[in-house]
Amino acid sequence: MNVLVTGNLPESIISTIRAEHRVEVNPKDEPMPRDQLLSAVADKHGILSMLTDRVDDALLDQAPHLKIVANCAVGYDNIDMAAATQRRIAVTNTPGVLTDSTADVVFALMLAVGRRVVEGDQRVRQGHFKHFAPFHFLGQDISGKTLGIVGMGRIGQAVAKRAAGFNMPIIYTSRTRLPAEKEAAMGARYENFETVLGESDFLSLNVPLTPQTHHLVGADQLRLMKPTAILINTARGPVIDEIALVQALREQWIGGAGLDVYENEPFLAPGLIACKNAVVLPHVGSATIETRTRMAELATQNLFVGLRGGIPPNCLNSEIFT
């Protein structure tokens, strides 16, 4: 069958697909231009997509033979699920494999913001490090501070496990509360969203992007946080009202922010880049060799099963098979 791979994946992955199917690959490390993407899908039976690809009605109308969209990501807000399901096109994602690498980046951002790592690196490189001074360039401790977790799914729980090594009390809120024995094992206390906002020294957002979580954290929520609190977002950019965040950082409603995702990615809200109390990463939460390879392999497995007409292991709309 005909397959489109919209990202520049390793040759080991492409050769696996090519062994069974005809493959067209985007050879560049950037998203396919929209007109090229719409043209490329015309004869395709399967798409191995990236989270930067907008798979909507307009695209699906151009792909009459399409059987599966295998998204190489956990999130799938780039895909119109209703439109795909209506056309009986399977949609899959890659859950589980990026849990640990994303949780690691949560702590990388906590440490980078809390201990002013990026500022310190820049100071040394610019030649401004002249001598040690006992009360100069102070950050804040991570150990023993209260960690708030919003969204206690796979990644939220992985973040909680890492917090144990820093002796951090954990409070959390989530759509589904954990069983009491799991809370006890993690040392996690369930609270409502407002309480988590108000008590956290570090706040990690780990929720999917849905209509309910869009701008979950805006001006009102930022004002509930401690003036020393640090906000971490490795989930999806639109979970935060970025304009409000810039104001909160400038006016020091909160102590800082560590961001790996952005509301209008890859563009940042005006003024964000100038906020010295923010550390900004280029969406690298899952960017390790091991994790990105496993994601591509899992997306390929989903693709193969879908092309054969089976129910892929990570199918998001399995009702199309009933």
Residue 265 falls in the annotated catalytic set:
yes
CATH number attached to the domain at 2-97+289-321 = 3.40.50.720
Listed by start position, the domains of the chain span 2-97+289-321, 99-280
The residues near 251 (Cβ < 8 Å, ≥ 6 apart) are: none
Structure confidence at residue 7 (pLDDT): 95
Tell me the pLDDT tens digit for each residue of 123-148. 999 999 999 989 888 999 999 999 99
Q: Tell me the pLDDT tens digit for each residue of 198-245.
A: 999 999 999 999 999 999 999 999 999 999 999 999 999 999 999 999
Query: What is the C-alpha separation between 222 and 101, in angstroms, rounded?
Result: 27
Point out the catalytic residue in the list 21, 54, 283, 294: 283
| Neighbour tally for 229: CB within 10 Å | 24
pLDDT at 322: 87
Same fold flag, 2-97+289-321 and 99-280: yes
CA nearest 231: which of 110, 143, 313, 133?
110
Looking at residue 145, the DSSP 8-state letter turns out to be P
- pLDDT score recorded for residue 136: 87
- Quickly name the fold that domain 99-280 has: Rossmann fold (3.40.50)
Total number of residues shown for the chain: 322
Between CA 162 and CA 86 the distance in angstroms is 41
Contact 290, 297 (CB under 8 A): no
Catalytic residue flag (residue 119): no
pLDDT in tens, the chain (322 residues): 999 999 999 999 999 999 999 999 999 999 999 999 999 999 999 999 999 999 999 999 999 999 999 999 999 999 999 999 999 999 999 999 999 999 999 999 999 999 999 999 999 999 999 999 898 889 999 999 999 999 999 999 999 999 999 999 999 999 999 999 999 999 999 999 999 999 999 999 999 999 999 999 999 999 999 999 999 999 999 999 999 999 999 999 999 999 999 999 999 999 999 999 999 999 999 999 999 999 999 999 999 999 999 999 999 999 999 8
SS3 call for 264: strand
Q: Which of 45, 236, 292, 297 is catalytic?
A: 236
Do the bridges between strand 68-71 and strand 46-49 make them parallel or antiparallel, or are there none, so unpaired?
parallel
Q: Are 167 and 194 in contact (CB under 8 A)?
A: no
Nearest CA to 196 out of 213, 221, 178, 218 is that of: 221
Please state the pTM of the whole predicted model: 0.91
Q: Which of 54, 215, 265, 294 is catalytic?
A: 265
Closest CA to 166 of 191, 140, 190, 189: 140
